[in-house]
Amino acid sequence: MLHAACPGAGRRRRGCGTTDNSDSGRLAGARAIQVESGKSVMRARPLSPHLSIYKPIPTMVMSIVHRITGAALYFGTLILVWWLVAAAGSEASFDLFDRVAGSWFGRLVLFGYTLALMHHMLGGIRHFVWDTAAAMDKHTASKIAWVNIVASVVLTLAIWAVGYYARGA
């Protein structure tokens, strides 16, 4: 049974109400082609060509980075939890955290966490503005995307400068 709503209606496709159990339906994105000998040969093709055909534009890149920073914040929050548990625990556990976080690698990770936090926060504000149907035209959206990048870097540097100033370092 073929459905008109299925892609390629008129051809037998797996998942569109067919009972096609041939090899051509087993590989996602594969297409069987006939060669001169009459045998079917599988030829892979991309499932979604979005990254290979579209030129990256600021709003597209910001959408991808917003998702990445969201994931980074999840793992960065584990560092925050480690700090809270160490602060509530013994002096030795806090000293361990302080040594790790105070190393050059620890500070680099904390700087990245701060940058991800600022970028994700500003991206959330940008989406909140878009929820009001403001700044939706292409040119303004691209400008806001660039402002998001610059402002997140400036805010991160400002936070770290204030932190170092407050520590007296």
pTM of the model: 0.67
Residues 6+ apart with CB under 8 A from 41: 32, 33, 34, 35
**Residue recorded with tokens 């969201």:** 70
For residues 20-57, one letter each, b for 16 or more C-beta atoms within 10 angstroms of the residue's C-beta and e for the rest, the string is eeeebbeeeebeeeeeeeeeeeeeeeeeeeeeeeeeee
Categorize the per-residue pLDDT at 31 as very low, low, confident or very high, splitting at 50, 70 and 90.
Answer: low
Mean pLDDT across 134-159: 94
Residue 65 in this model has a pLDDT that exceeds 90: yes
Mean pLDDT across 149-156: 97
Contact, 47 vs 37, CB < 8 A?
A: no
Please indicate whether residue 73 or residue 12 has the higher confidence score (pLDDT).
Answer: 73
Mean pLDDT across 107-119: 96
Q: Which domains does the chain have, with CATH numbers?
A: 1-50 (no CATH), 55-167 (1.20.1300.10)
Residue type, 37: S
Query: Looking at residue 56, what is its pLDDT?
Result: 84
Query: Looking at residue 24, what is its pLDDT?
Result: 44
Residue 2 in this model has a pLDDT that exceeds 60: no
Please indicate whether residue 38 or residue 141 has the higher confidence score (pLDDT).
Answer: 141
Query: Looking at residue 37, what is its pLDDT?
Result: 66
**Mean pLDDT, the chain, integer:** 81
Please state whether 103 falls in left (phi above 0), alpha (psi between -120 and 50) or beta.
beta
Q: What are the counts of helices (DSSP H) followed by strands (DSSP E) for the chain?
A: 5, 2
